[in-house]
Amino acid sequence: MPQYLPIIFTLLFCQSLKYPATPPARPFPQHVTYQKGCILPNHISRQRMDDSVRAFYKVWKRTYIKKGCNEGEYYVWFEGPVSRNKQCVSEGQGYGMMIVALMAGYDTAARTIYNGLYHYYKAHPSKSDPHLMAWAQKKGCRDIDGSSATDGDMDIAYSLLLADAQWGSQDGIDYRREAAHMISSIMQQEVNQKTFSVLLSNSVEHDSKDYFDMRSSDFMPAHFRLFRTISDDTRWDKVIDKNYKLFQYMQDTYSPEAGLVPDFINKIGTQTRPAKPRYLEARYDGAYNYNACRMPWRVATDYILHGDPRAAEMVGKINRWIRTTTKGDPDNISAGYSLGGEDLKNRYYEALCFIAPFCVAAMINKENQVWLNRLWDYMVHFRANEFDYYDNSIRMICMVILSGNYWAPGS
C-alpha cells in the first residue's frame, strides 16, 4: 500500500487545483475585432493599453476583492462616502464577476476568485427567488432586505456566460445552467410584461405605482441579445426594441440637443416623462446623474459588439454634444447635467463614472478620434485612491472595452 501513496497524494493535489488550473479559452488580452467603423485610441500602442489595463486591474483587485464570511467566498467591497455600513451590493458583485472573468489568463487565480464571487452571490438570494441576489449586505454579511436590484442580476447573469465561455460548465459549477435560471427569473420578475421596460427590482409588483418606472442605466441591449440566444425567449427581442424606442422618445422629447436621458423614467406607456426630484434617490432623479451616466457605455457596447445602428445614432447625439459643450477638453466634463445639457449646480469636479462611459461612446465613429485619445489620457492619469468603488469599477470595465479586449460569449 505505501507505494501507492505518492500517486494518491498527486491525484488529490491535482483535484484540489482542478478549477483554478483549467486554462481559460479566451485569456486576456484578446484584441477583439469590433464592428466596422469602431475605433480605439490610436496614439499609443496596444501593448501600452494592455499594460494600463493590467496595472489598474491589480490595484482594483487588491482594493475591492474581499473574503466573505464563509470559506471560499469573495465579495466586491462597497466602499465610498455613501456606503452607510454596506459591505456589498449586487451591482458591485456583477461588475466584479464580469471583470474577473474578462481578466482570466492574466490573472491566474481568476477562476478561484470568480467561483468565490459566485458562492457569495448564491449565499445571499432574494427572498422571492433563489436565482436572484439580495441587493445589499451590511457588515457581517447580513442581508439588508431580500429584494433584488435588476442591474446587478443582469451583470451577474452575463458574467456566468463569460465564465462558461472561459472554463466550460462540465466540471464544478454549471455556469451556463445557472445563467439560464437567472435569465428566466429576470424576465419573470424584473421586466414589465406590458411595456417590456426594465423594472427597478423584483419587489415591484404588478399593481405597484413603480411598475411603469425604470432606471435608465438598466437598459443593457448587448446583454439582452445574449439572453435571447440562451433562453430562446422572443420576449427579449421586445425588451430590446421597446427600450430603444423609449430612449429615442426621451432624447427627442426632453433632450433634443444633448441626447441625454434621466436617471429615472416614470409612467412609461402613458405619460412617459423624467422622474421628479427625489423620486427615489436624489434631487436630480430627473437629470443625467449618477445612474444615467452609465447609459453611453451600455448602449455604445451594443454597437461595438453587434453593430445596431440605433445604438450608434443614440450615442452619436451625445458625442456631438459633449465634444461641443467641453470644447474638446475632457477636463471640462462635469459630474452631472440637466437634460438640456447644462452643468448641474456645484458639480464641477471629476467623476470617472461620467468620464469613462463617454470614452466608450466615442469609439463608435472615427470623427471622435482626437477626442477619444484625449479622453483615454485623461482617464488613465487618475489614481484609484482618488475615487471609490463605483467610479473605479466602471473605469475598469470601460478600460477593457477601450483596449479592444471586451467580447461577447459565443462571438
Catalytic residues: 91, 151
Within 39-144, residue ranges assigned H as helices are 46-64, 90-102, 110-123
Q: If you ran DSSP here, which 8-state letter would residue 128 be given?
A: T
The count of residues in the chain is 411
Measured distance CA(103)–CA(250) in Å, rounded: 36
Measured distance CA(47)–CA(53) in Å, rounded: 10
SS (H, E, C) 279-292: CCCCCCCCCECCCH
Q: Are strands 125-126 and 74-76 parallel, antiparallel or unpaired?
A: unpaired
Q: If you ran DSSP here, which 8-state letter would residue 125 be given?
A: E
Rounded to 10 deg, the angle between the 90-102 and 150-167 helix axes is 20
DSSP H or E segment with residue 215: strand 214-215
Q: Taking the mean position of all CA atoms in its chain, how far away is CA 136?
A: 17
Phi, psi of 288 (to 5 degrees): -80, 90
Q: Taking the mean position of all CA atoms in its chain, how far away is CA 160?
A: 13
Measured distance CA(268)–CA(70) in Å, rounded: 42
DSSP bridge partners of 345: none
